[in-house]
């Protein structure tokens, strides 16, 4: 009867019908083989965040201090942010037919810094990499101003802010490639409502780190032929009980902003383990099941997973450059469960409970 079994498997493969033989296969689970046997593993802490750009007028940056205190006590040695790197933005500018909107939405404009330094993005990127490689143990204020200018010219504004914050206030002035316009930009960044700046860059400066790592990726972005229909379909999928629950929770958390410890309570809520299922059910799970003939929901989920996979690879690269560190990732809360799952497959990665760190 062996020939019959082989025949049924062949017919099933051709017809797309699954059979018991195929169901017994399980992919190799890399997450079960952790190492190394000697030396520290990488520790990954993913902080799911609200996007602070959307906070109401009652929000003040100092309300984040309890969150920063908790994260500082964990002592991360590298911090990654949901920002597109200067080099990727430079790449996307060469393909405006696909990435024009993405560049306008997510990329720092390096032109003012290019005028001040005389360097385009590739040249500035090479220069700041070389400067960091030979960075002195006790850099002078002029060194920091020079590095900040190179970061701005290279499209790495959050890194430039780290250097700016590490300067004594009386040394935050024009010089070494920073002109009046760039100094004004850095001062605006210092108080801008953005978790990459108010949390990640501020924490990096507080801990004595020299930079943050841009790990976002928008190369999966592409124009949608029928944008109106696409938006209508996805909006309909999002109109569900789980999404209503998330909106009610967010409104209640925001309403408490005047209370002591409100932002710490918000971050604890966003980083609870049970939030992953709520995020999926309200958003990507709902889109996955929407019945449009164009399968817009499937396209949306495919984009989301691709983006997160590329983000995860950028994070993995950060750890590969300095193995055995504690790495903090500051990212929108919806990315958190995907990044944790993808990176937990890595052999030398230990995922840390963010809610526990915030307690």
Q: Which residues lie closer than 8 Å to 312 by C-beta, 6 or more apart?
A: 338, 339, 342, 343
- Residue 181 to residue 116: CA distance in whole angstroms: 9
pLDDT at 184 over 80: yes
Token pair for 234: 């996805």
- The separation between CA 6 and the C-alpha centre of its own chain, rounded to angstroms, equals 47
List the domain boundaries for the chain. Answer: 78-216, 227-358
pLDDT at 100 over 60: yes
pLDDT at 10 over 60: no
pTM assigned to the model: 0.91
User: At CA 189, angle to CA 307 and CA 180, rounded to 5?
Assistant: 130
- Residue 162 to residue 209: CA distance in whole angstroms: 8
Ordered alpha helix ranges (H), the chain: 2-15, 20-23, 65-74, 86-93, 96-106, 111-117, 121-133, 141-153, 157-166, 180-190, 195, 202-207, 227-238, 241-255, 262-270, 275-279, 285-289, 296-321, 336-344, 354-358
Q: Which of 274, 258, 249 is nearest to 355 (CA)?
A: 274
Token pair for 180: 């009046």
- pLDDT band for position 3 (cuts 50, 70, 90): low
pLDDT given at position 258: 84
Burial of 266 (0-12, 13-18, 19+ CB in 10 A): buried
pLDDT at 193 over 90: yes
Give the whole-number percent of the chain exceeding pLDDT 70.
94
Q: What is the pLDDT of residues 269-299, one digit of tens each?
A: 999 999 999 999 999 999 999 999 999 999 9
221 or 11, which is more confident?
221
The H or E element spanning position 349 is strand 349-352
- Residue 64 to residue 331: CA distance in whole angstroms: 15
pLDDT at 11 over 80: no
pLDDT given at position 22: 60
The greatest distance separating any two alpha carbons of the chain, rounded to the nearest whole angstrom, comes to 86
Q: Which residues lie closer than 8 Å to 84 by C-beta, 6 or more apart?
A: 92, 106, 107, 214, 216, 217, 218
pLDDT at 170 over 80: yes
pLDDT at 6 over 70: no
């Amino acid at each position: 009867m062996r020939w019959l079994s082989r025949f049924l498997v062949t017919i099933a493969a051709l017809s797309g019908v699954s059979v018991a033989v195929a169901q017994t296969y399980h992919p190799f689970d890399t997450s079960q083989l952790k190492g190394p046997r000697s030396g520290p593993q990488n520790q990954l802490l993913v902080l799911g965040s609200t996007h602070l750009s959307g906070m109401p007028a009652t929000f003040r940056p100092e309300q984040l201090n309890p969150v920063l205190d908790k994260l500082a006590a964990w002592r991360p040695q590298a911090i990654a942010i949901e920002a597109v790197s200067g080099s990727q933005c430079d790449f996307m500018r060469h393909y405006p037919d696909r990435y024009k909107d993405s560049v306008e939405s997510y990329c720092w404009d390096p032109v003012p810094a290019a005028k001040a330094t005389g360097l385009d993005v590739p040249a500035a990127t090479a220069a700041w990499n070389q400067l960091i490689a030979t960075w002195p143990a006790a850099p002078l204020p002029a060194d920091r101003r020079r590095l900040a200018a190179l970061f701005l010219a290279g499209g790495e504004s959050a890194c430039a802010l780290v250097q700016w914050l590490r300067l004594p206030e009386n040394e935050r002035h024009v010089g070494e490639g920073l002109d009046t316009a760039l100094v004004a930009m850095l001062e605006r960044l210092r108080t801008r409502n953005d978790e990459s700046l108010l949390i990640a860059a501020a924490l990096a400066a507080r801990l004595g780190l020299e930079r943050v790592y841009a790990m976002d990726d928008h190369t999966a972005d592409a124009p949608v032929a029928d944008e109106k229909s696409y938006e209508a379909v996805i909006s309909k999928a999002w109109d569900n009980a789980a999404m209503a629950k998330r909106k009610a929770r967010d409104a209640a958390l925001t309403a408490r902003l005047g209370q002591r410890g409100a932002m710490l309570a918000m971050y604890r809520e966003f980083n609870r383990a049970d939030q992953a299922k709520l995020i999926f059910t309200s958003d990507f799970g709902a889109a996955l099941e929407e019945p449009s003939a164009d399968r817009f929901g499937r396209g949306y989920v495919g984009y989301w997973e691709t983006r997160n996979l590329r983000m995860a690879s950028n994070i993995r690269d950060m750890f590969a450059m300095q193995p055995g560190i504690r790495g903090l990732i500051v990212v929108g809360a919806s990315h958190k469960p995907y990044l944790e799952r993808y990176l937990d497959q890595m052999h030398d990665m230990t995922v840390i409970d963010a809610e526990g760190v915030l307690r």
